[in-house]
Structure 1
Amino acid sequence: MDKTISRKGFDDVMVPNYAPSQIIPVRGAGSRVWDQAGKEYIDFAGGIAVNALGHCHPELVNTLQEQSQKLWHLSNVWTNEPAIQLAEQLTKATFAQQVYFSNSGAEANEAALKLARKYAKDNFGADKTEIIAFNNGFHGRTLFTVTAGGQAKYCEGFEPLPGDITHLPYNDLATLEYHLSDKTCAVIVEPIQGEGGIIPAEPVFLEGLRALCTQYNALLIFDEIQTGMGRTGALFSYQNYDVIPDILTSAKALGGGFPIGAMLTTKVIAESFSLGSHGSTYGGNPLACSVASTALKLINDPTLLAGVKQRQTMFLSGLKQLNQKIGLFKDIRVEGLLIGCELKVSWQGKSRELLKLAEEQGVMVLIAGPNVLRLAPSLIIPYPDMNKGLQRLAQAMLALKMGF
């Protein structure tokens, strides 16, 4: 522990685009984390759905150590074994035939949107450029992806923004059908809106979206940055629906905590990313791909995925019991281990206060806007940790209700 590092140091040397907690975690194991003072926390946040296998999973650690003794980085001038191995795993497990690797979800979505525009131009002409996205969506922080996201607050101050992006209401098939046209090149959608409040898409909405995209030769892009890699009890959320996208993006849990993103698509569509049309210095590097390969092997396991559904049931039951006693939430939305607890009207705007109170009680949680408490724990969180975390969350809920 370096006792010279403090929260004040963040304000001194870091760009102020974040406002992190006063605590500084220094060690994690499984679903528990310890700060500089040695205080223990139950992790219901999972690094925002990143640490799908918890902290320092032994097999991920072993893979990282082994690969670190072999080869860290190669430019894309050369081929590397771990990248091909991971791409083969992903294509065998999904609809996709080819993969592009990036470093993050935003970069994966950037690649998907660029590919959609290029594919439309290559196959249908220069006028097919419109991208449809949805209100309250979130797709990343690059200028292109933040514009595609449907939350104006993330775009303020960065104008002028990329053009020909249209935002429509989520889960509103009639409006989509009215608007979509031959000028639409792609529709990008989260099967569950994460930052927008843990709002699942209705099956009929996604099915209609698929049919309309096919009708108008528009590509359907599923942003599975947060919903993928077992989070909903399927490897990717699209597998819970009778819908197959044209492009799928993945990141967050793909590397189990090691930064990596991926864009998955078919060979026909991928042809538009011809030689030199897109690239990444670090994307697909051996370290990231090796760790992600092990993470994918562990997560894409029927027993683990069934365990996600079992934990979903237990979390939902536990949260309902807490809410019956304390009464803060008007709705609890659960899809696998992506959980949103929406505050009642009288407690609207208090989600961040609840987060801070939970931290004081020794449980790490998230928010999804000012009115929704978000949980995204490890997919293999031990049941005793789940129960202890819920007990601590209950104390935080009581503290909020009693006015601290």
Structure 2
Amino acid sequence: MTSQEIFDLNDQYVMGTYGRFPVVIDHGEGATLYNPEGKKYIDFTSGIGVSALGYGYEPWVEAITAQAKKVGHTSNLFHLEPPVKLAEILCKRTGMDKVFYANGGSEANEGVMKLARKYSFDKYGKGRHTIITLKNSFHGRTMASLTATGQDSFHNFFFPFVDGYRYANANDLSSLEAVMGDDVCAIMMELIQGEGGILPLDQDYVSAVAALCKEKDVLLLIDEVQSGVGRSGSLFAFQQYDIQPDVVSFAKGIAGGLPMSGFMSNAKCAKVLVPGTHGTTFGGNPICAAAGLVVQETLSDAFLEEVKAKGAYLCKAVEGLNLPCFGKTRGMGLMLGIDVAEGYVNKELAKKLIDNGLLILTAGSGMRMLPPLMVSYEEIDAAIAIMKDVLGG
């Protein structure tokens, strides 16, 4: 089909819930994508952080194909090898104790918050159920995860929202202490606020929050839906903050392009959720888990160091352009943001770049760069050249 034919079918049959760019993706290789007519795009989105290994990565394709030939789904009433092996690797690499699998980031965060409330209910009884999140955060689009999201722009239309949430300013311990109370069971935060603008939290603040949680037996919940699975330059961003959370959610890159998510708990929380208290039909799908095993095999310590090096190279190259529309860069690994100067609109800049062959994202008022972790230096240089040509005037 041509791009126009696909546009027409989309307009006729697909709900208009996304502000899609007028681009059709047909196939890809590495960090480069092509439309049906052969137009080339350097991909700095990786499906919003999902396609960690890029496109056409043979070990990933082979693992999916081999598992599909064996069994595609059986439900969680039976045992399967791939999700068990993946859970073992995740726990050993993070120091966590148990894994629960789900399908998307919102669902993973719902499970995390259910676990926190049940932990507190089991130990303290009713009334200790409030979860504190940070302003400018984003935790999902289901009702509870949407309520947990600390951005007023998302809190509309779907009233009434879920009870039991309060918000504190990021990097402001006094703001957090002001909303603490005997009814709080958990504090949930992204270590790098993704949708809010690629804003890493301060080390001292994170350490203080972790200490506060330990003092009050309040669970520390870390949302690594976007920052996890190598994106920050370590397997999980919390490993660079020298903390050990009670529960960590993950999604996006975990299966390199297939729908998979979940959360890990420490030993304290490992037995909170028991049969009948939580579940999901497709979580731990063996094809997704087989893909996830390839992701873990690929993300060696040396590979993760290269992610950091590529991120530093990319930031230096963007700032070296001295474009009038761009300010400083920020972020960790290959989860990077660019400040947009006053007088410019990030969505307009994104459209210009996309029209000229660079797929890029926005976040907050800035730009967001999430290239596949396997992006080559040649592809980075090609993207920088597009920025210079398109935005340098």
User: Structure 2-normalised TM-score?
Assistant: 0.97
* 2: CA distance, partners of 1:8 / 1:24: 12
**Does the 8 A contact of 2:319 with 2:327 survive in 1?**
no
In the alignment, the residues of structure 2 paired with residue 37 and residue 298 of structure 1 have an alpha-carbon distance, to the nearest angstrom, of 32
Secondary structure of 1:373 counterpart = strand
Write out per-residue CA displacement over residues 142-195 of structure 1, whole angstroms, 9 at most, x where no aligned residue.
Answer: 100011001122231001000010011111112112322332101110000000
The match for 1:359 among 354, 359, 368 is 354
Aligned mates of 1:100, 1:335 — CA distance in 2: 26
Identify the residue that residue 319 of structure 1 maps to in structure 2: 318
Match of 2:305 in 1: 306
1:336-391 CA deviation, whole Å, 9 max, x = no partner?
Answer: 111111111222xx11111110011111100003x211000011211111101111
Q: Which of 327, 342, 345 does residue 345 from structure 1 map onto?
A: 342
Between the aligned partners of 1:13 and 1:78, the Cα distance in structure 2 is: 37
- Cα pair distance change 1:3/1:31, threshold 3 Å: closer
Distance in 1, Cα, partners of 2:289 & 2:352: 38
2:373 paired with 1:374: no
Q: 2: CA distance between counterparts of 1:5 and 1:67?
A: 34
- Give the C-alpha shift of residue 331 in structure 1: 2.4
Contact 1:328 1:397 in 2 (8 A): yes
Distance between the aligned counterparts of 1:62 and 1:158, measured in 2?
A: 43
Give runs of aligned pairs for residues 189-228 of structure 1, distance below 5 A. Answer: 189-228=189-228
- Show the counterpart of 1:171: 171
How far off is 1:9 after superposition?
Answer: 1.8
Counterpart Cα distance in 2 of 1:267 and 1:82: 23
Q: 2:327 aligns with which of 317, 326, 330?
A: 330
Please provide the CA RMSD for this pair.
1.3
Distance between the aligned counterparts of 1:151 and 1:28, measured in 2?
35
Whole-angstrom CA distance in 2 between matches of 1:58 and 1:181: 52
1:8 offset after TM fit, Å? 2.4
Residue 103 of structure 2 aligns with which residue? 103
Whether the 8 Å CA contact 1:181–1:216 is kept in 2: the answer is no
Q: Is there any run of 5+ residues in structure 1 with no aligned partner, and where? A: none
Residue 328 of structure 1 and its aligned partner are, at CA, apart by: 1.5
- Cα deviation for residue 233 of structure 1 reads 1.0
In the aligned structure 2, how far is the partner of 1:161 from the partner of 1:24? 36
CA–CA distance in structure 1, aligned partners of residues 111 and 147 of structure 2: 14
Partner of 2:86: 86
- Is the deviation greater in 71-80 or in 266-275? 266-275
2 CA distance for matches of 1:5 and 1:250?
36
Q: Residues 254-280 of structure 1: CA distance to partner in whole angstroms, max 9, x if unpaired? A: 011111001100243132211111100
Letter in 2 for 1:330: G
Amino acid at match of 1:74: T
1:4 shift after superposition: 7.3
Structure 2 spans left out of the alignment, 5+ residues? none
Could you tell me which amino acid in structure 1 is paired with residue 282 of structure 2? Answer: Y
Identity %, equivalent residues: 33
CA distance in 2, matches of 1:135, 1:334: 18
Once the two structures are TM-superposed, the CA of residue 223 in structure 1 deviates from its matched residue by 0.3
| Rounded Cα–Cα distance in structure 1 between residues aligned with 2:57 and 2:154 | 34
Deviation by residue 1:205-235 (Cα, 9 ceiling, x = unmatched): 1001001111111100100011111111111
Separation (CA, whole Å) in 1 of partners of 2:42 and 2:30: 9
* TM-score w.r.t. length of structure 1: 0.95
- 8 Å CA contact 1:361, 1:393 repeated in 2: no
Specify the SS of the correspondent of 1:331: strand
Which amino acid in the other structure matches residue 176 of structure 2?
Answer: L
Instruction: Name segments (4+ residues, structure 1) moved above 3 Å.
Output: 1-5
What number of residue pairs does the alignment pair up? 393
What is the CA deviation profile of residues 68-99 of structure 1, one whole-angstrom value per residue up to 9, with x for unaligned ones? 11010011111111111111111111121100
Residues 102, 108 of structure 1: 8 Å contact kept: yes
1:354–1:396: 8 Å Cα contact kept in structure 2? Answer: no
Q: Shift in Å at residue 2 of structure 1?
A: 5.6
SS of equivalent residue, structure 1 residue 278: coil
Q: Is the 8 A contact 2:166 2:179 kept in 1?
A: no
Q: 2:157 aligns to what SS in structure 1?
A: coil
Contact 2:45 2:371 survives alignment (8 Å): yes
Match in the other structure for 1:156:
156
The answer to whether the 8 A contact 1:361-1:395 is kept is no
